[in-house]
């Protein structure tokens, strides 16, 4: 079977716990200079607890399915209750499980998300089966698609991209990827650059882009200049509340975000990048891709969980489409 998109990336069981009694404490010991805290040795009542499938690979797969695309998730889950829950949810969402690999060696990854409503959240994550995938797990005869979408991968799974990308290019499969997290940068700049020249669409946030090219965070033009040298296709750089800038090597496209409430921002990045690709696949138009991506990301943060608010094909949410500015480089 040929798919429109095959997704890779983490597959997790997420447990969301929200309490208004959590405290924000400012301290330089925290990377963000602020911590989400509870008194040591105390008990705290949770105002809300929910369970949901998570992980960048599965989150993206649900976006593609809701946009009417034929999609499969390629990754590992454990032969445990969490893994069965993830598998059942993927199938229920219209994602093919034909490429799903069940491991009896590793447990399914899971995360606990602690949330202070209307403020922020912190995530505890336990790596699992999805992070242990290697290229030996791939059945390349089944990898038939127009696009491969690779979310951020950690551990052994990141190393599996080498053969996969080579296979994709040899078989004229386009590649969209968001592989540039802290663990990937730890693999070395040259290795990461070696992957980027095979990529058709690269997704990074502003911090990741700055670390990757080793240029100051605020020197946006210089960052794009370097990324455009490394990536032959499209570079998408998200900027949090400041929106997004996209380069196709000839023009810069920029847009803000609509004013909206926020319940939980888990999965917003996955919602943006996967919807960008879905929108681009539909019309090969960057403006349309940015507008759909922004709408999808805005919608998902209105509900708890990384997939509950994802838009279906033809939906745009209650917000006006963002205005996209186009400038010659």
Q: Residue-wise pLDDT tens for the chain (329 aa)? A: 899 999 999 999 999 899 999 999 998 888 778 889 888 888 889 998 989 898 999 999 999 999 999 999 999 999 999 999 999 999 999 999 999 999 999 999 999 999 888 788 889 988 899 999 999 999 999 999 999 999 887 777 878 888 999 999 999 999 999 865 555 544 555 667 778 889 999 999 888 888 888 888 888 889 999 999 899 999 999 998 899 999 999 999 999 999 888 777 778 899 999 999 999 999 999 999 999 999 999 999 888 777 888 999 999 988 999 999 999 98
User: What are the tokens at 293?
Assistant: 């991506």
**Whole-prediction pTM value?**
0.91
Between helix 56-66 and helix 268-283 the angle, nearest 10°, is 40
Are 56 and 179 in contact, with CB atoms under 8 Å apart? Answer: no
Evaluated on CA atoms 48, 53, 57, 61, the torsion sign reads: negative
Evaluated on CA atoms 299, 202, 213, 180, the torsion sign reads: positive
What is the gyration radius of the CA atoms in the chain, in angstroms?
19
Which residue in the block uniquely carries the two structure tokens 């940015």? Answer: 290
Q: Rounded to whole angstroms, how far apart are CA atoms 261 and 85?
A: 30
Phi-psi region of 55 (alpha: psi -120 to 50; beta: other; left: phi over 0): left
CATH assignment of 3-10+56-105+130-328, given 3.40.50.1370, 3.90.45.10, 1.10.10.60, 3.40.1190.20? 3.40.1190.20
User: What are the tokens at 103?
Assistant: 């491991």
Are 275 and 234 in contact, with CB atoms under 8 Å apart? Answer: no
Q: How many CB atoms lie within 10 A of CB 220?
A: 18
Q: Rounded to whole angstroms, how far apart are CA atoms 269 and 205?
A: 9
Q: What is the pLDDT of residues 259-313, one digit of tens each?
A: 888 777 778 899 999 999 999 999 999 999 999 999 999 999 888 777 888 999 9
Average pLDDT of every residue of the chain: 90
Residues counted in the chain = 329
* Domain boundaries, given as residue ranges, for the chain: 3-10+56-105+130-328
Which residue in the block uniquely carries the two structure tokens 């606990």? Answer: 112
Residue 78's contacts (CB-CB under 8 Å, 6 or more residues apart) are 102, 103, 104, 106, 107, 108, 128, 129
Closest to 104 measured CA to CA, from 77, 125, 131 = 77
Are 79 and 103 in contact, with CB atoms under 8 Å apart? Answer: yes
Looking at 122-238, list the stretches that DSSP marks H as alpha helix, in order from N- to C-terminal side.
156-159, 161-170, 182-185, 189-196, 206-213, 220-230
- What single-letter DSSP state applies at residue 58? H
Query: Could you tell me whether strands 109-116 and 120-126 are parallel, antiparallel, or unpaired per DSSP bridges?
Result: antiparallel
Q: Per-residue DSSP letters for 196-209?
A: HTT-SEEEEEHHHH
Which residue in the block uniquely carries the two structure tokens 């190393």? Answer: 159
């Amino acid at each position: 079977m040929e798919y429109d998109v095959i997704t890779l990336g983490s597959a997790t069981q997420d447990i969301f716990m929200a309490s208004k009694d959590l405290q924000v404490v400012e301290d330089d010991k925290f990377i963000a200079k602020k911590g989400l805290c509870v008194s040591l040795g105390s008990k705290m009542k949770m105002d809300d607890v929910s369970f949901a499938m998570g992980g960048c690979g599965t989150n993206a797969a649900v976006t593609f399915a809701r946009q009417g695309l034929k999609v499969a998730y390629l990754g590992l889950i454990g032969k445990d209750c969490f893994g069965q829950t993830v598998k059942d949810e993927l199938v229920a969402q219209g994602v093919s499980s034909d490429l799903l690999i069940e491991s009896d060696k590793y447990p399914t990854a899971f995360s606990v998300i602690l949330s202070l409503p209307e403020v922020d959240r912190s995530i505890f994550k336990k790596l699992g089966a999805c992070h242990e995938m290697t290229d030996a797990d791939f059945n390349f005869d089944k990898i038939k698609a127009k696009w491969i979408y690779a979310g951020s991968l950690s551990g052994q799974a990141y190393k599996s991209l080498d053969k996969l990308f080579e296979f994709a290019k040899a078989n004229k499969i386009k590649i969209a990827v968001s592989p540039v997290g802290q663990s990937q940068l730890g693999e070395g700049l040259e290795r990461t650059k070696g992957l980027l020249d095979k990529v058709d669409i690269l997704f990074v946030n502003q911090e990741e882009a700055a670390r990757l090219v080793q240029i100051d965070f605020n020197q946006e033009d210089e960052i794009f200049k370097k990324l455009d040298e490394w990536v032959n296709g499209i570079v998408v750089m998200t900027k949090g509340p400041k929106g997004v800038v996209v380069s196709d090597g000839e023009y810069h496209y920029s847009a803000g975000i609509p004013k909206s409430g926020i319940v939980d921002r888990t999965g917003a990045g996955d919602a943006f990048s996967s919807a960008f690709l879905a929108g681009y696949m539909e019309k090969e138009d960057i403006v349309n891709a940015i507008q759909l991506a922004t709408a999808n990301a805005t919608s998902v943060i209105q509900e708890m969980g990384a997939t509950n608010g994802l838009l279906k094909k033809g939906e745009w949410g209650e917000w006006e489409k963002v205005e996209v500015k186009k400038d010659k480089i």
